[in-house]
Structure 1
Amino acid sequence: MPIKAILTDIEGTTSAVSFVYDVLFPYAAAKLPGFIRASYGDAEVAVQLAAVRAEAAEPAANLERILEILLGWMQEDRKSTPLKALQGKVWQQGYASGELRGHVYPDAVEALQRWYEHGYGLYVYSSGSIQAQKLIFGCSEAGDLTGLFSGYFDTTSGGKREPEAYRGIAQAIGLPTQNILFLSDVAAELDAAKAAGMRTCGLAREGALVADHPVVVSFSDIEPSRM
């Protein structure tokens, strides 16, 4: 079956891992406490703080305890939906002020633009929040790339190592899994997508990727019509 849509990871795939770990995470760690204290009365922030209490099983946690929990989750790189949502709000301020610019590999920019022009539907699936995804592509060093994408998916669609998440994404896209190509630098994610029926391709940008999938080092090596 021909590829009709391409679903891509971000970290290590379209964007450098170092950008996330050396730029975005330290920025969020430094700014998150001040942001939450200043936005404590905001309704959207309050929803996320309630979700933190529920996930931590600490319903009576006060503000300082919540901050302690969040900073601890950040240190362990926990894939927590409320944490990702709050990080996204902090990054939004950083992008708006010009302190942050999203990193996207030039070969990814070129390929995404070419695939869009050739009629492929382009989608993103990352453990970062949808808001954070839009910020990376919308405020990228290459300009606003959000117009290339038809949709975004995060952990609210399920874990990236769970086949069922990819089936749900395919249903949301409106295509059989066999018509979707998934790109990632993580073998376990590729395995889950393949188990769901998607076509797969691994990116080995920063070292060897041992996986039972086609593997390339650049987006320029990917030809969807031949996958």
Structure 2
Amino acid sequence: MIRAIVTDIEGTTGSIAFVHEVLFPYARRHLGDFVRQHGNEPVVAEQVEAVRHLADEPEADLERVIAILEGWIDDDRKVTPLKALQGLVWERGYRNGDFTGHVYPDAVDGLQRWHQAGIALYVYSSGSVQAQKLLFAHSDAGDLTSLFTGYFDTTTGPKREMASYRRIVEVIGEPAESVLFLSDVVAELDAAAEAGLRTVQLVREPGMTTGAHFVAANFDAVPLDG
């Protein structure tokens, strides 16, 4: 019996295009000025220092830090300080009404249906927890955050490593076999399955690579009973 569902975002609850055509370009345009304007604030300064550490450039000035961050965006690096700072920039964009978070209608319906059925819902994404909450708080369908019990990001661990899913199961407090993980990425699903979770791959586009996981075209086709 499924007691908890953990879902990916990009390509699963919402389109990959939204992330790559809206969110990433917005952060790329505004990140530098944001860091310059808020670099002395503790929450930003902490991430700036983390960039220096990860880049092994402890003496990097602010402009060099910004250049590193922009390079990471261009390379689609999944690093925690970048994700944290992107989340702060996106918060401003959401609150200004520059965009809303894309969520597929079938995902909205499925999440609402599972929530009403008493299944605990969680998000696990390479985007920061802050960015996850912002997307669902400012979604196309309105504020969906009340549907979720918790959120996980790269501070839990890489999404393609089994240990990350074991940590998630420990936090959820349910047996691994009663937790379902939804993603569009085979390597993530493989890691989750290795940790004992149930898995379903969302295949929303033709030609996607599939593996040894149940395949669903949308949330309506996700099985919870076997």
Report the counterpart of residue 197 of structure 1 in structure 2.
196
- Answering whether residue 99 of structure 2 is matched by residue 127 of structure 1, we say no
Structure 2 residue runs of 5 or longer lacking an equivalent are none
Superposition deviation, residue 59 in structure 1: 0.1
The aligned amino acid for 1:179 is S
- The alignment partner of 1:155 has SS state of coil
Report the counterpart of residue 17 of structure 1 in structure 2.
16
| Number of equivalences | 225
Report the counterpart of residue 151 of structure 2 in structure 1.
152
Q: C-alpha separation between the residues in 2 aligned to 1:40 and 1:156?
A: 22
Superposition deviation, residue 100 in structure 1: 1.7
The correspondence of residues 172-211 of structure 1 with structure 2, limited to 5 A, is 172-207=171-206, 208-211=208-211
- The alignment partner of 1:210 has SS state of coil
Q: C-alpha separation between the residues in 2 aligned to 1:100 and 1:54?
A: 33
1:203–1:209 CA contact under 8 A, matched in 2 = no
Superposition deviation, residue 210 in structure 1: 1.4
Q: C-alpha separation between the residues in 2 aligned to 1:36 and 1:206?
A: 36
Superposition deviation, residue 41 in structure 1: 1.0
- Answering whether residue 192 of structure 2 is matched by residue 169 of structure 1, we say no
1:202–1:209 CA contact under 8 A, matched in 2 = no
Superposition deviation, residue 33 in structure 1: 0.6
Report the counterpart of residue 96 of structure 1 in structure 2.
95
Q: C-alpha separation between the residues in 2 aligned to 1:87 and 1:176?
A: 34
- The alignment partner of 2:200 has SS state of strand
Q: C-alpha separation between the residues in 1 aligned to 2:173 and 2:69?
A: 36
State the Cα deviation string for residues 78-112 of structure 1 (Å, max 9, x = none): 00000000000000000000002000000000000
**Dislocated runs of 4+, deviation >4 Å:** none
1:209–1:215 CA contact under 8 A, matched in 2 = no
Structure 1 residue runs of 5 or longer lacking an equivalent are none
- The alignment partner of 2:122 has SS state of strand
**Structure 1 length-normalised TM:** 0.98
The aligned amino acid for 2:70 is L
The aligned amino acid for 1:221 is A
**Structure 2 length-normalised TM:** 0.98
Superposition deviation, residue 223 in structure 1: 2.8
- The alignment partner of 2:123 has SS state of strand
- Answering whether residue 150 of structure 2 is matched by residue 136 of structure 1, we say no
Q: CA-atom RMSD, angstroms?
A: 0.6
Q: C-alpha separation between the residues in 1 aligned to 2:71 and 2:48?
A: 15
Report the counterpart of residue 57 of structure 2 in structure 1.
58
State the Cα deviation string for residues 49-73 of structure 1 (Å, max 9, x = none): 0000000000000011001100000
- The alignment partner of 2:155 has SS state of helix
Superposition deviation, residue 222 in structure 1: 1.1
Report the counterpart of residue 213 of structure 2 in structure 1.
213
The aligned amino acid for 1:127 is S
Q: C-alpha separation between the residues in 2 aligned to 1:121 and 1:113?
A: 11
1:31–1:90 CA contact under 8 A, matched in 2 = yes
